[in-house]
Structure 1
């Protein structure tokens, strides 16, 4: 290790003195001990202005060129928790060829997401996904974001949500019923295909077929490209596939849009075409294409991850599976409407706990547009910032026995999610909190309702899912389960 002079060296030694051994950390995945032993030199991100009274952000670059990118992808929450233990709520690391400041814990997170001084911009997302999800709602800032969100909200009113539930129900029942051909499916992949099929039906009014399969492939390619290590179009690479996928989606939505404008419909595509605020604001054709591409990505991946996590924890805890099934069976054989779905209280508790344990979006990206500070640490303009829901979801200050599966923590009177405004934040927070959170929750509960009605499922007692964080969290083995018809 290189010895640094002055305050950095003293701070580094102080940090190492208070870090517990790895065995003392109840991490969900073990971090590579060879990496922990590397002791990368601790450095300042930037020197605070003279007389400011601010502290520097401390961190380390990790291995040359790749930085800590591979550890971030491999270990997910364990990596973030270890950094939090080592450096506290504000630190920096390297990845994707950039220095990235990590904000962890409720207080640091709140400063960035509430963003009172408008120092944190969505520009950070552009580094990862702009090429594939250009001018999606999540990439917009300040006044423009507010206007587009107001228009888009018209597509997520309760009457619209009720209509989407009515469309999803039959598609989900039909899709789930078709899984009986194999007793040991890789459940993640079955759920992913089903949610893609439902998305093309509910979002675009498309039925299954060659066109739907082509659109689905384009979405998958675009999503995977965002975390590509080689970030230019090498033939056969993820970046190149993502750019091609984006062109396919633009062409499809652009060609289909005029008919949607004319004829309307109950799907989300039609809703965006018709959405108009009280002031008469509405989306241009280009806006609609951009928002549809983004919303399809945001909806189907997060739904797949959440339903997969729920299925895993219900397999590991059969008493919760039976409790949820009893509520579903009590609804009878009719496909439930929105009011019935909202009454599935056990599924609601399980969903919230699964979202806590496996946050579908493990990091929220920002970029500073001016010099600012977080908890007294100086962050200069132009800094890429990662806000970490995953660390917040495991902090013992907010959660009792945080690594345990315990859905009752969300029930009255415990409500541990109310321990801090940012204790539970799977949908983000502040002005950019996910606009489709109610839509997503309804889809996940309706999907799990159909799964509970049709099957029982289990995993071996010794089985533990390992989540791959290369892009968004995915069970590395596809989540094999033993599935039997009821």
Structure 2
């Protein structure tokens, strides 16, 4: 069931705007990032600075993964480019990625992430380094055990079923925004054990502003600018969680907020109030943003490929009308295949920033201490050396007997890798499957045959048009009864 639809390479994308044409045709002088130490035998990292000050920021945000592939094909697995006023070394391809993410000699720190999101997601788990990160991760792991995940599934099941059923009033919704509101409702319920209320829209806006501020070109609080909006969003989120924290400390609830308040490490370590607030803000963002992106990508491919949608629907209907638990969600193997392929074609986090804290060698190239580094999943996900016809939509590539994702440990890496691999990947996987399960039961959805989803990469990928679809209710969708 291989689709003949291709995700076109950069050079084949229609460029109606003069700016797009200029961005691609402009050629910049090739220079060395830095001269290798004499006698080291190392090669310099080659690349170019791009436009003054902004570098290649605009191309990166406009073209996303296509631009990453273009750079890889031009310069190879280790290169550099100017962006956001920085010289950034770029590691692409599974071998370079493995060195960066396994980080055996602790040459790379999370300072790269801090440059982009420290002001908005201060001391979130992803921003911590080395021993401190491992300590916080060990404590936090208590909130993501199998038993905890089962409890979260019991909480988000009714939210998803009711939320998806409510879409019936819209025959042509913009699916991304409907999913984003729904995943925020899930995060509010599962993470805080609070029903959606009038604050939901305000909180959602605060998260959106905080995420988009990370790639602001003007990194000062200019009124009306993205940076200022992000700072305002951060303050609002801090107040929101601080107001609710005392009650969570007093009770021993089943939500994630409570779990973090009471989580204990091997030696009795616990999170401070400040730690809990920082982790909650980060986890709420990471959970509902990446889940929304993944759900949107899966829904898009199911709309473009109705044969896969029907195959997935048969498995969902076979589960019956009860809200699915983890064991039931594990049976949705078609959704597993489509979701993995959607994650390959659209990585929710298209760049993993780091910073070299000491001189380091990567595949024979010299990267000096202090260099910003970007690890790019996109080049791995479209590598012709590791994937058959990588621009084709082909979920069967993940099926037993093929398992192209096993061609290299880092051929497929939508959740990152190494010590900082996403701690919530299993939670996110179950939530995405539960969302699509409810959609498949309730509706069929379609897009025009010539429609192609275009992503905005200003921060995390967002559909430019919100993904408009046509919903048609199924007979099963009219039944909205379930067992509590």
Task: Name the TM-score, length of structure 2 as normaliser.
Answer: 0.94
In structure 1, the partner of 2:95 is: 107
Counterpart in 1 of 2:318? Answer: 330
State the 1:27 CA deviation: 6.1
1:426 match: secondary structure: coil
Match of 2:44, SS state, is coil
Q: Is 1:305 aligned with 2:293? A: yes
**Would you say 1:473 and 2:444 are equivalent positions?**
no
Q: CA–CA distance in 1 between the matches of 2:372 and 2:130?
A: 18
Q: Does 1:392 align with 2:392?
A: no
Task: Return 228-237 or 428-437, whichever deviates more.
Answer: 228-237
Match of 2:136 in 1: 148
Return the alpha-carbon distance in structure 2 between the equivalents of residues 379 and 30 of structure 1.
36
SS of residue matched to 1:210: coil
8 Å CA contact 1:206–1:212 kept in 2: the answer is no
Alignment of 1:272-421 (within 5 A): 272-421=260-409
1:178 maps to which residue?
A: 166
Q: Deviations over 1:392-416 (max 9, x none)?
A: 0000011001011111101101000
Q: Does 268-277 or 386-395 show the bigger shift?
A: 268-277
- Unaligned 5+ runs, structure 2: 1-7, 475-484
Residue aligned with 1:73, SS: helix
Matches within 5 A, 1:245-260: 245-260=233-248
Determine the C-alpha separation between the residues in 2 that align with 1:132 and 1:28: 37
Q: Which residue of 2 aligns with 1:447?
A: 435
Match of 1:482 among 454, 470, 477: 470
| Aligned counterparts of 1:286 and 1:454: Cα–Cα separation in 2 | 42
Partners of 1:147 and 1:89 lie apart in 2 by 33
8 Å CA contact 1:30–1:78 kept in 2: the answer is: no
State the alpha-carbon separation in 2 of the partners of residues 348 and 37 from structure 1: 40
2:176/2:463 contact within 8 Å kept: yes
Counterpart in 2 of 1:239?
227
Residues of 2 paired with 1:440 and 1:253: CA distance? 22
1-structure distance, mates of 2:438, 2:104: 43
List per-residue Cα deviations over 1:16-51 (Å, max 9, x = no partner): xxxxxxxx9576846745434322100000011111
**Structure 1 residue ranges without an equivalent (≥5):** 1-23
State whether residues 105 and 391 of structure 1, in contact with CA within 8 Å, keep that contact through their aligned partners in structure 2: yes
Q: Structure 2 matches for 1:204-219, cutoff 5 A?
A: 204-219=192-207
Q: Write the distance in 2 (CA, Å) between the matches of 1:295 and 1:26.
A: 33
Output the TM-score relative to the length of structure 1.
0.93
Matched, 1:55 2:32: no
Aligned with residue 203 of structure 1, among 191, 195, 216: 191
Counterpart-to-counterpart distance in 2, 1:353 and 1:46:
38
Query: In the aligned structure 1, how far is the partner of 2:256 from the partner of 2:9?
Result: 45
Q: How far apart are residue 208 of structure 1 and its match?
A: 1.4
Q: Deviating runs (4+, > 6 A) in structure 1?
A: none
Q: Which residue of the partner structure matches residue 127 of structure 1?
A: 115
Q: What's the offset of the Cα at 1:64?
A: 2.0
Count of residues paired in the alignment: 463
| TM-align CA RMSD | 1.3
Query: The residue matched to 1:99 in structure 2 has which SS?
Result: strand
Pair 1:133–1:73, CA change in 2 (3 A): same
Instruction: Choose from 460, 475, 479 the match for 2:448.
Output: 460
Give, in angstroms, the shift of residue 355 of structure 1. Answer: 0.4
For 2:305 and 2:9, how far apart are their aligned partners in 1? Answer: 24
**Contact between 1:26 and 1:403, CA under 8 Å: does it hold in 2?**
no
Q: C-alpha distance in 2, partners of 1:367/1:66?
A: 19
- Alignment partner, residue 190 of structure 1: 178
Q: For each residue in 1:357-388, what CA deviation from the matched residue of structure 2 results, as whole angstroms up to 9, or x when unmatched?
A: 00000000000000111001100001000000
Contact 1:28–1:403 under 8 Å retained in 2 = no
Alpha-carbon distance, 1:282 to partner = 1.4
Following TM superposition, by how much is the alpha carbon of 1:210 offset from its aligned partner in structure 2, in angstroms?
Answer: 1.5
CA contact (8 A) 1:46 1:57 kept: yes
Aligned equivalents of 1:28, 1:305: Cα separation in 2 = 24
Asked whether the equivalents of residues 10 and 70 of structure 2 are also in contact (C-alpha less than 8 Å), the reply is no
Q: Which moved more, 1:24-33 or 1:305-314?
A: 24-33
Q: Deviations over 1:236-259 (max 9, x none)?
A: 211111111111111121121111
